[in-house]
Each structure stands twice: as structure tokens, then as C-alpha cells.
Amino acid sequence: MAGRIPSADTVRPSGAITSLVPDVRRPACIRIHVGGRPYYTVPRAVAATERLEPGRTIDEALHERLGQAADQEAALRAALRTLELRPYARADLGRRLVRRGHARDAVAAALEDVAGMGLLDDAAFARSYAETRAARGRGPMRIRRDLMAMGVARDATDAAIAARWPDGAEDSALPLALATRRAAQLGDLPRPVKRRRLLAYLMRRGFSGRTIDQVVTQVLGA
């Protein structure tokens, strides 16, 4: 586990530093062993600033500083692992890391580091999300709700929607295809029931009222 070893979360280790071991996973970090056991994983820069060396006793103040640095390193590694799977909006990634037990201050610092690496860009994320979700049958209203729920700022959300639907008008081809397929699945239900369910289905997908009404009327007939 990166960062502090679980037992070090609240308890200061007794004894002195026994060794500083390079971290094979992140060469920019070292693992600090106290009493012969790994206790903190921190960036080399922190170790240099603190002038760490074998034989130095870990007092309470040093424990707090190393613990904070180790917590930030743990949150950073968790963020990088998460982003390897798929992109995230910044606020959404932060919430996930906090739910996993990382301290809020450590998460905030990790997000700054990841953003500095060019791996967090809410505007680019919103544009990509709008494109991929539109291709999967979601309309602008649904995409807007999704992005706002993930903490993407309104201006980035609006720009992403405008980029996908530049003239503000929805292409009816996709909702028409969705409604046609859904109508077939509804079988021989009475027309009023089928219409009501199609309207609700397309609304959940995030299409506007005018588009929905036109598409459902076309599918079911006047």
C-alpha cells in the first residue's frame, strides 16, 4: 500500500529510521523504514527537505509532516490508477477518492498534481462525454444533467453541448430510431399507453419536448 502503512495513520512509530529504500513503483519516491519495517512512502524531495537519514528518531512533529506527505502520495497514486481506467471530471474523481478513505486535504493536493500533469481537464472531459453519450442515444438535456451531477462547471457543460449541437437543434434521426425500436418492444399496447411510455422513454434519454413530440407522433402516426 502506498503512503502510510495503515498502523501509522494515528500512531507515531517508536524508534529511529533504519533505512531509506527506493520505491520500485515510483522512482521519485522512497519508502522509510522505522524499526526495520516500512512505515511511510514519500517523494524524494520531501526526504531531502527533511534531511532524513538512518538513525534519526521520528518525533511527533516529523511524524505529522511525513504522514501528511505520505497521505498525499497515496491519494495521488489512487488518482492515477483510477484515471488509467477512464477519464473523470475533477470533482467526481475527488469524491471517489474521499469515499475510498483518503483525507480531503490529501485529495485536494493530489488533484492539483494530476491536473498539473495534464490528466484532468473538465472542458475536454465534457466535450468527450457529450460526443460519446450522444452516440449512445442520450440527448442534450440528459447529458447536461449528467455533467452537472459530476461537478463540471456550467460554462464547460454549456460549451460541450453547444459543440455537439452547434445550432441548438437536435437531430431527430437518433431519437426516431430509438422510439421505433422501443415501440416495437411495446407490442400491441393501446395507443395512448404506448404514446405515454414512448414520451417518458425519450424524456429519460434527455431529448427536448418538441423533438419528443414530433418523433412519437411520427412513429405512432397522427
Give the pLDDT confidence of 99-118 residue by residue, as tens digits.
999 999 999 999 999 999 99
What sign does the CA torsion over 22, 114, 109, 49 have? Answer: positive
Determine the pLDDT at residue 36: 85
What percentage of the chain has pLDDT greater than the value 70? Answer: 93
**pTM, whole model, 2 decimals?**
0.74
Query: At residue 129, what are phi and psi to the nearest 5 degrees?
Result: -60, -45
pLDDT at 191: 86
Q: Which regions of the chain does DSSP assign to beta strands (E)?
A: 17-22, 29-34, 37-43
Residue type, 88: Y
Average pLDDT over residues 14-18: 86
Q: How many CB atoms lie within 10 A of CB 12?
A: 15
* pLDDT (0 to 100) of residue 220: 87
Q: Is the pLDDT of residue 165 over 80?
A: yes
Give the Cα separation of 6 and 10 in Å (integer): 9
Q: What's the confidence (pLDDT) of residue 170?
A: 64
State residue 169's pLDDT score: 62
Work out the average pLDDT over 151-180: 84
Query: What integer pLDDT is reported at residue 8 of this predicted model?
Result: 42
Of 107 and 173, which is predicted with more confidence? 107
Q: Are 90 and 122 in contact (CB under 8 A)?
A: yes
For residue 34 the three cell numbers come to 522505522
Task: Check residue 175 and give its pLDDT.
Answer: 81
User: Residue 205: CA atoms inside 13 Å, Cβ hemisphere, count?
Assistant: 27
Hey, how many other C-beta atoms are within 10 angstroms of the C-beta on 20?
A: 15
> What does the pLDDT read at residue 168?
61
Q: What is the mean pLDDT of the chain?
A: 88
Of 53, 59, 63, the residue nearest 7 (C-alpha): 63
Give backbone dihedrals phi and psi of 22, rounded to 5 degrees, phi first: -60, 140
Predicted local distance difference test score (pLDDT) of residue 10 = 54
Which one, of 72, 160, 141, 145, lies nearest residue 111 by Cα? 72
Looking at residue 7, its pLDDT comes to 37
- The predicted structure's pLDDT at residue 4: 47
Helices then strands, each counted (H, E), the chain: 10, 3
Query: What are the pLDDT digits (tens) for 29-75?
Result: 999 999 888 899 999 999 999 999 999 999 999 999 999 999 999 99
| Identity at 185, one-letter amino acid code | Q
From first CA to last CA, the distance across the chain in angstroms is 64
What grid cell was written down for 97? 477518492
